[in-house]
Amino acid sequence: MRPDLERQAAPASGENSVADVLIVGSGASGSVAAARLAGAGFRVICLEQGDWVHTADYMSATPEAELAWVQRWNPDPVARRNPADYPLTGEADVRPVMYNGVGGGLVQWAAMWQPLLASDFKVRSLDGVADDWPITWAELADQYGRVARDLSVSGLADDPALPEMAAYPNPPVPIGKVGMAAARGMDRLGWHWWPGANAIASRRHGALQACQRRGTCMTGCPENAKATPSLTHWPRALAAGARLVTGARVAEIPLDDRGRAIGAAYLDSDGVEHLQRARVVVLAANAVGTARLLLLSASARFPDGLANSSGLVGRRLMQHPYRTVTAVCEESLESWQGPWGQNIYSLQFAETHPDRDFVRGAKWMVMPHGGPMFAVGEYHDAHRLAGFEALWGENFHRAAAEVFGHAFAWGIQAEDLPEEHNRVILDDEVCDSSGLPAARIEYRLSENARRMLDFNVARAVEAAEAAGATSVMVRGLWPTGIGHVLGTTRMGDDPATSVVDRWCRSHDVPNLYVIDGGVFVTGGSANPTATIMANALRVTEHMIDERSSQEVPL
């Protein structure tokens, strides 16, 4: 840490006080930690490099909602270019998707709610690949249910493909004509399907209003029916005394002479440098942002990056590679109606099967098909039509007439096994607007994942045809991810092969924790938010229980 940071002071951001816990990142995991810790009486400060997103900022209720996805609400930060975003460089097969702001990626998520499978925690034992988690599904069972209540999840319990779990607080959002059509095909094939669970209120519940089924969830819900931390967790955290500092880009986690974290050095929106001191530091900046920050915090004690004695910080990045199969039907499916989350899902092919040439599996989910621009764009991509003329005039109307309102999509989300060459590193040349090195993404799709996707796409074509599709559109690998970045700071019992322990505390720095998706040992095929938030709750409650034995800087 530079000596001048020791002299900085900014009373407006609370630097004259020492936080009991400093959290970096206000999204899925950071909001859970802030609410629970502040509620237990801890002095909590959270640093968030983005800003608040208000209902008035959403464009979902406007005629130009689909256009908003092109730039202002594009899920890819490289295309979106918000002031809070930082560059992601590198030639990756799949580019990560994220959002910087209060609520993090949950500002722009589709709100699909899915726990991991029990087998996802013991992949090495069952399938001889990757590693087992140091914890089991049962150790998250209670937290899964409690976080689902906090987020007003709507769903139907007792899916036989999942472990037994608590009932959801709300009934599922209607699966609509889209779900009914897709389910018809699955029934004809005898394959598993279940009504989708979504963190979208099907009726007024807690802080959320009832879903109006606009189908534009990804550009924000103007009715506040979709769960985001700004509605579900931050009001409670702030009421309990937590402080949330926005526009705070963290540059380094400095250490004292004993190797304890003393807080975070950050730059405010004006570029002024500050040091916020804390007894405990919790990183919740997602698997890319946290890995980047640890690498930025290299020192003489940790020349390869903070808490990186294992050499695994940034490595084993997993992203859930994704493809879609769209069924176009003659009947009207009203497929512009929401929610944008999963109408139904299937775990038919989510487990390893000895007759297949790959291990592990994929989750399928049915989604609506959006408005006319989305429908035409899907037609254009699936048919590999080139040039502006393919989307203009008669061609536009032909594609819209065929697809708009008549299609549903099976999204196929493949498990991505951890591989050390898939990683986050610091870029040697490109910096963000604060002069900090950008995150460079090195990611190549594995042969196992490629075979898995090909197999599942072929089965999804069968399901679409069984549903009565008049035509089927198949898309290749999505070049931008679906917002699931996992595995760059994995948990484990052995310091030589993991970054944090089973309680997500750094093996190297005893008052430094990581609670975002980076701690995942394997990725499973499920949407990870439920597990990220359940694990954050598990870890923070352990911190509360063990506060008397926590090592802190002098």
Helices (H), 8-128: 28-39, 65-68, 77-80, 123-127
Dihedral sign computed on CA atoms, order 80, 86, 88, 94: negative
The rounded distance, in Å, linking the Cα atoms of 174 and 91 is 41
Degrees to nearest 5, angle at CA 195 with 352 and 471: 80
Residue 64 CA, chain-centre distance (Å), reads 26
- pLDDT value at position 385? 61
Strand-pair partners of 89 = 440
- Name the token pair of 388: 């502006």
What pTM does this model have?
0.95
Q: Write the CB contacts of 339 (distance below 8 Å, at least 6 apart in sequence).
A: 110, 111, 173, 198, 200, 211, 213, 215, 217, 226, 368
Tokens 């209003």 locate to 209
Q: Treating both helix axes as pointing N-terminal to C-terminal, what angle do 372-382 and 394-403 enclose, rounded to 10 degrees?
A: 100
Angle among Cα 295, 301, 304 to the nearest 5 degrees reads 30
Q: Are 485 and 349 in contact (CB under 8 A)?
A: no
Kind of pairing between the strands at 362-367 and 88-89:
unpaired
List, as one string, the DSSP characters of 159-192: -TTS---PPPSBPPPP-HHHHHHHHHHHHHHT--
The residue among 473, 184, 201 whose CA lies nearest residue 327 is 473
Measured between alpha carbons, how far is 281 from 19 in angstroms, rounded to an integer? 9
SS3 call for 435: coil
Are 396 and 378 contacting, i.e. CB atoms less than 8 angstroms apart? no
Burial 228-237 (b: 16+ CB within 10 A, else e): bbbbbbbebb
Q: Which helix (H) or strand (E) holds 439?
A: strand 437-442
CB 192 within 8 A of CB 215: no
**Residue 9: per-residue pLDDT:** 33
Helix (H, G, I), strand (E, B) or coil at 416: coil
Q: Note the pLDDT of residue 395.
A: 76
Run means of pLDDT, 10 residues per run, the chain, 554 residues: 36 66 98 98 98 88 79 86 91 94 94 97 98 98 98 97 95 95 98 98 96 86 94 98 98 97 96 97 98 98 98 98 95 88 96 97 92 74 63 77 89 97 97 96 98 98 97 93 95 98 98 98 98 98 97 91
368 in Cβ contact with 338 (< 8 Å): yes
pLDDT value of residue 4? 39
Tokens of residue 63, six digits: 């005629």
**AA letter at 276:** Q
Return the SS3 of 282.
Answer: strand
Q: What distance in Å separates the CA atoms of residue 138 and residue 359, rounded to the nearest whole number?
A: 24
- Angle 529-545/28-39 helices, nearest 10 degrees? 30
Distance in angstroms (rounded) separating the CA atoms of residues 251 and 257: 19
C-alpha to C-alpha distance for 213 and 174, rounded to whole angstroms: 9
Q: What per-residue string of b and e applies to 118-151 under the rule 16 or more CB within 10 Å gives b? A: ebbbbbeebeeebbbbbeebeebbebbbbbbebb
Helix-helix angle 141-150:529-545, to 10 degrees = 110
Task: Determine contact, residues 418/120, Cβ cutoff 8 Å.
Answer: no
Whether the bond between 229 and the residue before it is cis, its omega within 30 degrees of 0, is: no
Helix axes 447-466, 176-189, angle to 10 degrees: 100
Beta bridge partners of 193: none
Burial of 355 (0-12, 13-18, 19+ CB in 10 A): exposed
Give the span between the Cα atoms of 190 and 16, in whole angstroms: 64
CA dihedral sign, ordered 103, 109, 114, 120: negative
All structural domains of the chain, each given as residue ranges with its CATH number in brackets, are 5-370+405-549 (3.50.50.60)
How far, in Å, CA of 160 to CA of 166, rounded? Answer: 13
